Structure 1
Amino acid sequence: MSANKPLSARQKKAIAAAIRKAQMQGRRAASAQQTIPYKEMYPDGICKVKDNYFTKTIQFFDINYQLARNEDKNEIFENYCDFLNYFDQSISVQFSFLNQTVDMAEYEKAVHIPEQADNFNDIRIEYMGMLKNQLSRGNNGIIKRKFITFGIEADNLKAAKQKLERIETDILGNFKALGVQARPLNGLERLELLHCTFNEGEKDKFGFHWDLVHKTGLSSKDFIAPTSFDFRDSRTFGMGGRIGTVSFLQILAPELTDRMLADFLDLDMGIGVNIHIKSIDQSEAIKTVKRKITDLDKMKIEEQKKAVRSGYDMDIIPSDLATFGGEAKNLLEQLQSRNERMFLVTVLVMNTADNKQKLDNMFFAAQGIAQKYNCALKRLDFQQEQALMSSVPIGLNQIEIQRGLTTSSTAIFVPFTTQELFQAGDEALYYGLNALSNNMILVDRKKLKNPNGLILGTPGSGKSFSAKREIANAFLVTQDDIIICDPEAEYAPLVSRLNGQIIRISPNSHDYINPMDINLNYSEDENPVQLKSDFILSLCELIVGGKNGLEPIEKSVIDRAVINIY
């Protein structure tokens, strides 16, 4: 057919039909379930993302880093570098840091004090009001959770399970070396995490168990998917009743600081930071850097030849060539002689809000933090769907914007700030606000590794007030016995107000201590009479004093007398 020959009516009709069909296919919306990019979730926590790609997730908790001494910080940083170096090119890693809103009514149940059959319920109500006020001052209904999701390629589930379990054991061991508590998530917990991510701010509770898959014929996606996804806007996305946007961190600064990630996570709003890390084979990384150095040397020679032909000094070369050459040689030295590897890193920041105005304000705040550290936060235009699915802890990175960083440069996004103490138990006591995160400290010391406590501070800083507040808290919440040794009689008014018993011991008081008294329950394993005999011998020896103390015959008399008396 000649290229200049006009189309026939039949051909025009066929082309028009093909165009309409393509347009209809383009308009056909995928379901919310089809948008979520995984194939199957298994009860043991393994997720089949693709036919040959499987992932698992571990939740880890915080340690005190930002408030630590410099030498402790350096030790944590070096151990974290060793942790990153564990991952080779066969393992894909995703760190997820999620600030998510919670129902304050549910959250306030942690500080609820039940009424008791005494005359102090009015004080309990007043104290509980103070706790709720402190709770609202702290996290503003935001919970912060941290996860690491790792994935490998395998031919089938059985092969993937063996490799993932080995990697999981190694990761937990590395976290233990860092002093970090961590635990793997099972399939139900991973689905609950995805449900919370996709349905943030919604009141619908996560209700799923594995029998529902067989009974209803639905997949696990049906129980975690929001009501809808909307990606019609190139710069934002709709997810259920919320609007959001995902941006990538453009790293421009020559040096980064370990405060950047912490500042992002300190924002009192719904924000999620995801860091995708992919290791490069060490030998391949060195070859790549050497090739770049060779290319730079070649360009330098070309510039020198051009200088000779033009008749000026051949040592005058463009400053960019000199700078890039020095940086490339420094990078090669780090890879060859130091404990450094090369990683491809993608940093994604996701903001969600109830309306567009709040979203713009949140994005502006996050953008300000990036600019503070000489970086830029760029929205992923026309890639919001891929960016959103790369911002959920599935372990899949669909954004091809990557930055090559060494181990120490990657580890500068240190995921630790300060350890939180918030135990929602029946006997958890209030101990103030965290100095760094401003979150409430609520803990049952009896459940900690070391239940002992020590109050330190300068004169007038509130040591006595802190002790009295804890005493009152323990009285209102627990059934524990409270015993106070108070030489200055400072706590007597509080004990009187709580209807406690005050025992005054002095030469002029009417209360005395009888050192000869004995309690038959004094010891469970040893003879209480023998223990009492030893005590009285020591007491008499202390009273008698002298150079030699008690004589043997005196000890014998006391021992026989004690046995006869008791």
Structure 2
Amino acid sequence: HFDWKDLVKSGLSVKDAIAPTAFAFKNSRTFQMGGIYCAASFLSITASDISDQLLKDFLDMDSSQIVTMHIQSVDQNRAIKTVKRTITELDRSKIEEQKKAIRAGYDIDIIPSDLATYGRDAKALLKELQSQNERMFLVTFLVLNTGRTEQELENNVFQASSIAQKHNCNLCRLDFQQEQGLMSSLPLADCQIEIQRGLTTSSTAIFIPFTTQELYQSGKESLYYGLNALSNNLIMVDRKKLKNPNGLILGTPGSGKSFSAKREITNAFLVTDDDIIINDPEGEYSPLVNRLKGQVIKISPNSTQFINPMDINANYSEEDNPLSLKADFILSLCELVVGGKEGLLPVEKTVIDRCVHLIYRKYFANPCPENMPILEDLYNALLQQDEKEAHHVATALEIYVKGSLNLFNHRTNVNVNNRIVCYDIKEL
């Protein structure tokens, strides 16, 4: 139990609550921290090529361990001088080998392969430092393994050593330096282990792969979209502020697409003031909409709920004349109904536009619900026209007026002004 109020009375500090009961450094290779057995090791980086998979494998171990890196920058001039000095030593060793070759009577070009490899690597390193914007760093890589028993500790150390060997490195135990290894592993920025490995900028960056792209917008209407797969941070986005606010939910069957959509709908309903319109071909959103006190509109041939496509009001258009926008909508509707590659002919568009203005005349003279036109009024107005094209469009509309699909030939009897509306078209 810990309470800030108790600190003043007891004379203790937060360290007394955090620190283990005791430390025991009984032997050279392990130590005890409270009831936990620990062992500090350093990573001997002997591989010519390493990747960030090494660090990932260490962090993915099932056991609890502390991975610590102490990185110290080296002055550029000092680094270049050190590499040049090393090249000079390698050249001197190469000359010695060539002298031996002359005395022994064999070709002077035959020198030890290690010497040739080190020479090439040293010259490449010098080139990187001088002309490729690389710097030199001294890195101390420590791993502190833990276990509840000595056997469990040894198993964890063996697993860590196997990971190091897989990447052509060695994990070496700090003999007689376990206390210094513990102090160096704590987040105190105090490295007491004088084992360092020189690495360039690009090689050192392998051990710091924690660059993740975060997506977090701190607005009042930001919605939760999940967790970042790399950093596990929240993804909060207000799509309305993005350049393209549209969204798609893609996934295999059973992966949770519908659940994701329902969660986002609920989030938007609670956080924002937006209207929510759902087109539901599977009939799966009705329970959610009913719980949110929304309006579920079931559209089917035997439904008792109706929507009038001819509905209009004074606020239908932001412009002065709402009838123009409505006429455009009805033209699009008739174009779908008539079908065909060419769509509506110019004459057909003309007669439809003429009839639309005729049937809304009565409503705008006295705008009450009883005077709202329905699809049958358009059908009758088309039949009264002289053009044969008007009769062609009326015949195409007949199935929606007097036929088996007459579900749109009624006045609206549902609340389409509800904040959340679901159109259930499963049986359509």
**Do they fold alike, i.e. is TM over 0.5?**
yes
Deviation, 1:555, is 7.6
Q: What is the deviation of 1:314? A: 2.5
Q: Letter of the aligned partner of 1:236 in structure 2?
A: T
1:295 is aligned to 2:82: no
Indicate how the Cα distance of structure 1 residues 255 and 444 shifts in structure 2: closer, same or farther if over 3 A, else same.
closer
**Which amino acid in structure 2 is aligned with residue 565 of structure 1?**
P
CA contact (8 A) 2:250 2:257 kept: no
Aligned position for 1:180? none
Alignment of 1:441-456 (within 5 A): 454-456=248-250
Structure 1 residues 540, 216: CA separation in 2 closer, same or farther (over 3 Å shift)?
Answer: same
Determine if the alignment matches structure 1 residue 364 to structure 2 residue 129.
Answer: no
Structure 2 residue 249 is matched with structure 1 residue 462: no
Equivalent residue for 1:409?
Answer: 203
Q: Do the aligned partners of 1:231 and 1:385 also contact (CA within 8 Å) in 2? A: yes
Change (3 A) 1:260 1:419: farther
- Residue 98 of structure 2 corresponds to residue 311 of structure 1: no
Equivalent of 1:541, from 315, 328, 347? Answer: 328
User: In structure 2, what is the Cα distance between the partners aligned to 1:346 and 1:383?
Assistant: 14
Higher RCO (CA < 8 A, seq sep 6+): 1
**Which amino acid is the alignment partner of residue 538 of structure 1?**
L
Asked whether the 8 Å contact 1:247–1:377 carries over to 2, the reply is yes
1:516 is aligned to 311
TM-score by length of 1: 0.50
Alpha-carbon deviations, 1:124-160, whole Å to 9, x = none?
xxxxxxxxxxxxxxxxxxxxxxxxxxxxxxxxxxxxx
- The structure number with the bigger radius of gyration is 2
Amino acid across the alignment from 1:516: D
What is aligned with 1:141? none
Tell whether the 8 Å contact from 1:241 to 1:354 is kept in structure 2 after alignment.
yes
Residue in 1 that maps onto 2:24: 230
**Contact map agreement 2:323 2:357 (CA 8 A) in 1:** no
How many residues are matched?
Answer: 340
Equivalence map 1:487-506=2 (5 Å): 487-489=281-283, 502-506=296-300
Q: Quick one: percent identity of the two aligned structures?
A: 54
State how far apart, in whole Å, the 2-side matches of 1:304 and 1:544 are: 94
Deviation readout 1:515-540 (Å, 9 max, x if unpaired): 5366xxxxxxxx94763965543112
SS in 2 for 1:264: helix
For 1:531, which of 311, 318, 339 is the aligned residue? 318
Q: Distance in 1 between the 2:149 and 2:323 partners?
A: 78
Is 1:395 the counterpart of 2:197 in the alignment? no
SS in 2 for 1:531: coil
Q: CA deviation at 1:233?
A: 2.7
Within-5 A mapping of 1:155-554: 204-205=1-2, 207-208=3-4, 221-416=15-210, 454-457=248-251, 461-462=253-254, 465-468=256-259, 471=262, 484-489=278-283, 502-506=296-300, 508-514=302-308, 516=311, 528=315, 531=318, 535-543=322-330, 546=346
Post-superposition offset of 1:406: 0.7
Q: Using the alignment, how far apart are the partners of 1:383 and 1:255 within structure 2? A: 29
Residues of 2 paired with 1:340 and 1:380: CA distance?
31
SS in 2 for 1:484: strand
Other-structure match for 2:367: 565
- Quick one: structure 1 residues 229 and 278, their matched pair in 2 at CA, closer, same or farther if it must change by over 3 Å? same
Q: Check the 8 A contact 2:228/2:234 in 1, yes or no.
A: no
Moved more, 374-383 or 223-232: 223-232
> Normalised by the size of structure 2, how large is the TM-score?
0.64
Deviations 1:278-334 (A, max 9, x none): 011111111111111111112222222233233333333232222221111111111
Distance 1:287 1:539, change over 3 A: same
Deviation at 1:504, TM superposition (A): 1.4
Q: 1:417 to 1:284 in 2, by over 3 A?
A: closer
Alpha-carbon separation, structure 1, partners of 2:62 and 2:247: 31
CA distance, structure 1, for counterparts of residue 240 and residue 152 of structure 2: 40
User: Alpha-carbon deviations, 1:242-263, whole Å to 9, x = none?
Assistant: 2222211111111101211111
Q: 1:272 to 1:556 in 2, by over 3 A?
A: farther
3-state SS, counterpart of residue 262 of structure 2: helix
Q: 1:242 to 1:559 in 2, by over 3 A?
A: farther
State the alpha-carbon separation in 1 of the partners of residues 102 and 194 from structure 2. 43
